[in-house]
Amino acid sequence: MRILPDDTIALVIDYQEKILPPIFDKEEFLKRSNILLAGLKELGIPTIVTAQYTKGLGNTTPEILEALGHDRFHEKFTFSGLGNEEVVEELAKSGRKNVIICGIESHVCVLQTLIDIKEAGYQPILVEDCVSSRKENDKKAAIERAKYEGAIITTYEAILFELLQSAKSEHFKAISKLVK
C-alpha cells in the first residue's frame, strides 16, 4: 500500500517539557522529530497535537512548536489520544485514513493511541525513529506490539520521500535539504 499525501494526517503525541528530560537518546530523537515535522509541514500534511495533563507535565516544547508552525493542541487525560473527543472529531473531519504517529512515550501514550487508531478503522503508520521512551527496551517492545497490531513501521526519511513521490516535486529540494 502506497502512503499518499491526500489521504494522510499526522498525530503528534506529548512532546512536553517535563516528559522529555529522561527520554532515551533524547537529542537524536528530537532532531529526527523536528525534521519529520518540518517535512510534513512543507508537504502540507495536517497535524493533530496532543499534550498529556499540561498542568503537571508542561507544554509542548518550543522546538516542536517551531517545526509544526502552529501551537494548537488537544489536552488529554487518558493515555490514548483518542480519549479526547476533539481528536476523534478532527481525525474524522479530515477524511484521511493514514495516520502518521510520532511522540512519547512509545509504550504508553503512543502505543495506546496507535491501537485505538487501528480499531477506529484508520491505518497507523509508526515512525520508529521519532518515538521514544525513558528505557530503550520499552521502545523496542512497543514497536513489536505496534507491528502485531497492524501498524506500518517506517522512518522519518522513508515516510517523507514516500509522501514526496518524485524528484520532480516542487518540494524535493526542501525535503532533501531537511534530511541531509
Domains of the chain: 5-179 (3.40.50.850)
- pLDDT at residue number 69: 80
Count how many residues are written for the chain. Answer: 180
**Cβ neighbours of residue 75 under 8 Å, at least 6 residues apart?**
50, 51, 52, 53, 54, 84
Active site residues: 14, 76, 109
Q: 28-42, 66-80, 96-110, 152-166: which range is least confident on average?
A: 66-80
Instruction: Name the residue with cell 524535493.
Output: 172
What's the whole-number average pLDDT of the chain? 96
Which pTM does this prediction carry? 0.96
The mean pLDDT value for 84-98 works out to 98
Residue 69 or residue 16, greater confidence: 16
Which residue, among 121, 111, 31, 12, has the nearest Cα to 70 in the 3D structure? 12
Average pLDDT on 88-110 reads 98
The tens digit of pLDDT for each residue in 34-88 reads: 999 999 999 999 999 999 998 999 888 888 888 888 888 999 999 999 999 999 9
pLDDT range class, residue 93, cuts 50, 70, 90 = very high
Task: State mean pLDDT over 12-28.
Answer: 93
pLDDT at residue number 1? 86
Tell me what pLDDT residue 142 has. 98
What span, in angstroms and rounded, lies between the C-alpha atoms of 109 and 112?
Answer: 5
Confidence of residue 100 (pLDDT cuts 50, 70, 90): very high
